[in-house]
Chain A
Amino acid sequence: MSAPIVRFLGVEKSYDGVTPVVRHLDLDIARGEFLTLLGPSGSGKTTTLMMLAGFEVPTAGRIEVEGRDVSRLPPHRRGIGVVFQSYALFPHMSVAENVGFPLEVRGMARAERSARVARALEMVRLGGFGERRPAQLSGGQQQRVALARALVFEPSLVLMDEPLGALDKQLRAEMQLEIRHLHEQLGVTVVYVTHDQEEALTLSDRIAVFHHGAVQQLDAPAQLYERPANAFVARFIGENNRLAGTVSEIDSEDGMVKVALAGGRSLWAMRGDCGTAGARAVVSVRPERIALAPGPAADLSEDAIPARVVETIYLGDHVRVRLALEGGAEVMAKRPIAAADPRLVAGAEAAVAWQPEHAIAFAPEPGD
């Protein structure tokens, strides 16, 4: 891998000097990648992005762009494109003037400028809209103008802070694809902020999951989903069932642990960030990984868990089955509609099972 385009080195940030908003951030962003900062509200994503853009100053640490320390560089000298959630289009300028603004401040000649603007508008499929005012555009069109404006001066790095937050679901899906294609086409590095995990999974090469001002995990989408690093990530990305228990045995060779569940039963799971023998643990299993059959447990597999169907929810393309396990815990299983079994109605006897490699044992989150 070539030298990273952006490096956060021990960056910390606090607005009031007491509450840390970003705590000790070390993050390398590779040239050309699409990196998403994903996390719940207030986790410090925007703050991180604004420090990179130059609107906030880190309390400690250093930010390097292209190998240069930019911590003290004012925003207008960083050459980073930014797309804001509010679009921040200039209401008194036409669409073409908006898009031409970064070229204008760079002193580009009028003729070349209008050619570049036309090309940029063409790129976001807004050719012919140049003379309009931003107020005369729909939300999606405004967002596309903001995109064109942030890309027209060909920055090597573009930041986007929840750019699709104000759009409805369908338009969002459309814009996600558009942003993805622009990224592929232009080869720019994108740092993207969202709290919508589906959006993050759709767009990103890598996702940094933020929580309480710290990166919980930085990985490719599939890794993040299949091998979450801790209970927070498992809970935040996708759905998961959580079974509380205690670590009873560790097999460090295979990276497996045996967890004694609260109900008395024991099971094997992949080793997450759980402690050693005797520590409390949470076993996480994705609903779609749970095998499910009506009838007695022994019919499914030898280590299947007997259960009773609590309810079945029909969702068109799949059904969800909520089950009470022997021992009291509840799990949710998910079946594609083609594999749904009509015998699994509320009150029916059933059995559930899953592969040990689809279960991961984590240390419980605070409050669990």
Chain B
Amino acid sequence: MSLDKSKFESMQRDIQNELEKLKLEEETLFQDLGNMLNQRLFLDSKVKGLAKLLPTLKVVKHEAQDLVSTINDISESSEKISGKIRSLDAARSHVNECQQRVSDLIDLEICSQGVQTAILDSDYEKGAAHVHRFLSIDQSLLHRTATDMENLSGMQKSVRTLQDAASQLQAIVEHKFNEAVNCEDLVSIERFFKIFPLLGMHEEGIKALCTYLRTKVAATAEKNLKSAITTPLSDKRHSVIYADTLTLLFEGLARVVDTHQPLIETYYGPGRLLCAINILQKECDIQMKRVLTEWTRTRQINKKIQIITDLSRMSSSSSFSKLEKIDPKDLDILIGEITLMHFRTELYFRFIQRKVVSDLEVGVQDPDEKTKVLKSLENLIKNSDLTHSKHELLLHYLKLEQYFMEESVAKAVSMDSVEPSQQTSSMVDDTFFIVKKCIRRSISTGSLDGICAIINNACRVLENDFCDVLRARLRQGYPSGYLDLTQAYNVLQTSIQQGRLQASDTEQTRTAFLVALNNADSSTEYVDALCDSVLKEIEQALPAMNNNERGKLESCLSGLSSVTTNLKEIIEYGIQQLRVSAIKPRINPWVDNFTSINHQLTEDELSAYEAGESFVQTLIMNLETLLSLFKDVLTTANYDAFIAVLTTEVTQRLEKVIMKSSFNRLGGLVLDKEVRSLAGYITATTSWSVRDKFARLTQIATVLNLEQVAEFYDYWGDHDGALTWRLTPSEVRTIMALRSDFKVEEIKRLKL
């Protein structure tokens, strides 16, 4: 029953809904209808307007059809006209060709008549000019003309005459040129050189001239080498005489190229310089080799390299060495000479490149042809003996320079000395002077690979040889025990000056330790400065580095700058040594004194305490004495690091002894004051902020300085007066418990 009712109700609801929907639909329909009715007027007027336009459109259509037919007519007639023009063009080019053929024939006639006379008169220029005209006639056209012509034999005769004359002239010119060379007749040499290209003998001409020039270059080189060999030791160029000889060779060649290039360009056309340079390079290779052979012999290069190689093998296998070392100083000048020789060679290549490229720019337009010539220039350079010799020079240079660097640094280390009042010793200045000198010298070779190798080597020497010494000195440790450091320092100095070493081992070790620590610090600055200046100099010396080369250089330089990472580790190690042996043993008893002092003061006791020397005054005085020992003997950065470590030690120790004491209100008050003055003192000694290191201690003092437990809320929580706490809630409770006047239950009740 109730089911039926509910069914009925739901049906009723559905019907109701349907009705609502229909009503809504009806309403929308009404609205639409209304809208349409509204638009009717507007639409009516539009339709009327369109109806009026209709006749006009018909007229437009007619006119358009007329236009189309007119255009068709025009296009037809223009087609006809252009056809006529085309045939006119063809006719004109026929006429042109005809004229050309006729003028060729006339010239042919004139040339064949003139050439023999010219030869007989020894007027080779004129003869060659005739041949040149003949050669410039399109030979295939000549052939066609011959078949078209009736008077065939006359023309054939002319051609044959000219062909004969050409080969005759070719032979004569070659012969005359050689004759001129034999008599060193410069005017004739130039005269006949200019005739070669007229006869189509471009390559032969260049070859003949360059072969002649080779003999000149060879003769001069021979003379220069002889004079180099006989240069007396006393001559001030003696030490670089072979570099000078090479320079003369290159300069001579450059002059030859410079003087003959305009001649070649004018008479042979641009784009032919590479051909000449190719031939000259052969002589250059030969002469360079001769100079190098003589240089190797005179300077005993092989022997020196051998000794160096043997020495490096020895030192890696056994410390015992029977070989006499070479004093690096003795190599200095030789290395200078090699860099000069290498650089001159490099410059010569750059000269050739510049010349050929600019010749190419003028003469060759086709980009494919250009790349081809550039490729053959690259091959010419790559495969020349000069390149090989250059590599050999660089190899020698690198071996000698590496030895020079290693040995000089070793010497700087072994002759290390400290000037009085200096924080660092001589090995730092000396080592970086040497390293910089070597890198700069490598830059003067002009070879990026050479520069990179020396930078890598500098990195190795600094990281291994140099840092190892600093590390070893610090590893000796800083002997603890009471001492007057300044005194130790002075004693060491005077004894060194007086040639007797009296200072006790301890004092010496201490000084050595501190100096090593300072050396490490000052070396970091040297490394940074070195990287900066080297990069600048390289950019100046090699302005045309591409991205890849730059990447290579930067990678090597970043290796050098990362030497500072090693140095920083060394400094950290040294400072930790000082912490253990110089700071901790001294500071602990001073701070521990705190426990022997009464921190539960009456008003009277407070006045008495403040009248006398307080704990913190004594502590500061002691710290002052300790710091004064290190202030002047440590570099600024090291001294700051020293104070940082000292501060950590003092605050941590003080915290520890505070936790072992018990305070009343006045005791807390005194502590708070003392912590503040201690922090104030240390802040004044250093350039960095000590607030952070004192944070915990200051907060402990704040807790102990409370009037009552509940006052703590003034500092805790997230209101404006609250502090950022470094103490945990449980630490706060423990510290509060140090106040004998605070009730345990109250502390427990604190909501933290």
Q: Do A and B form a real pair?
A: no
Q: Which residues of A contact B (CB under 8 A)?
A: none
Q: Which residues of B contact A (CB under 8 A)?
A: none
